[in-house]
Structure 1
């Protein structure tokens, strides 16, 4: 299947924004970006329009767009929405999901070994890939397109924020245990525990991220 030029440009720019290659405040000149990405201006404008709808870029002038900043207030707002969505999702998954699939995910979280993984990109990437599979399994359990669409929107922003946790091995290890408990609770069809474990996980994640933002503000400024 042929990938449209606008989809290609969007995917590239999204990855660069989420990974930090394009930092907050980076100027995305229309002519320069079109040439760099090997597309004409029309598909580039379509890609930038989608990124603007995502809240990842903002237009400063008719032909100049910048990557939006994200600060502590933004992060708190993201987590307010994330808490409402993910606690509901965990509760629903416990009643609707494939219990065996979550039991298997819990076993995989139990086998995660982050010892010596500080700075080890492959190990961290493998862990985040496991989280992505957990998220995909959760989404498939919901049978609710509106909820999964809302979760995807929040995760688009969360990727930028989550980069801060990569520098905190202690938080990563705690996150592994928290994800394991959530998966175990869903696998056991314990909706209350699944929602509570999700609440605790998100509280701890927010506190860690805000702490990292305070100590190393250059990551997001």
Structure 2
């Protein structure tokens, strides 16, 4: 195999390692503070150490991994101060994105999402065992994708991407509270309704209200 082929393979392995480790961190399989032993991790996910090291460096830049000189890489931890700072940035980005969507010619698309969130609320209200949460979170991911498409601003969506990754790590807290998930579904519906109506102020306010309520829930649950 030529040098180009080896290079392509290395990039592919690095991407595979990045996506695999990132998914495990976001899902909580690799918890905060976990030491990421390169030898064992490379063997487990089926890559060599060089592309794994590149993947860990990329995750370090994104804030999901913390590299300590002489000790190696660890899954980053989120203090309550980190969470507050994260939500401050989230509010600045998401409220502006909501305004942009409300003034877009595609704002009517959010009417369908409003109905889906309202339906999800009804489904979750009947779900006493939490078996339908994945459907709700999939719909929330769809809302994020639609916002990114409608905003069509790579700088804004690029800034939101690492924030969303950190937020996904916090979902386990919301999952423990069915009441919070129910309220969150209605809050998402309100954001979508305001966007569909073309009301920028209402869209930004609904987004800010959802973010503030989410932060309060996390802080209360962490006391």
Normalised by the size of structure 1, how large is the TM-score?
0.92
* Runs of 5+ consecutive residues of structure 1 not aligned to the other structure: 215-221
Q: 1:64 to 1:118 in 2, by over 3 A?
A: farther
- Please give the per-residue CA displacement for 1:163-187, whole angstroms capped at 9, x wherever unaligned: 2101111111111111001001101
Does the 8 Å CA contact 1:97/1:140 hold for their aligned counterparts? Answer: no
Cα distance in structure 2, aligned partners of 1:28 and 1:37: 12
* Runs of 5+ consecutive residues of structure 2 not aligned to the other structure: 1-8
The alignment status of 1:161 with 2:170, answered yes or no, reads yes
Aligned twin of 1:219: none
Picking from 62, 75, 81, the partner of 1:54 is 62
Aligned twin of 1:143: 152
Give the C-alpha shift of residue 92 in structure 1: 0.7
Picking from 108, 118, 124, the partner of 1:114 is 124
Picking from 38, 48, 51, the partner of 1:40 is 48
User: Secondary structure of 2:111's partner?
Assistant: helix
Normalised by the size of structure 2, how large is the TM-score?
0.91
Picking from 140, 145, 148, the partner of 1:131 is 140
Larger CA Rg, structure 1 vs 2: 2
Cα distance in structure 2, aligned partners of 1:65 and 1:128: 30
Aligned twin of 1:177: 186
User: Secondary structure of 2:73's partner?
Assistant: strand
Cα distance in structure 2, aligned partners of 1:94 and 1:183: 9
Aligned twin of 2:36: 28
Alignment RMSD (CA, Å): 1.7
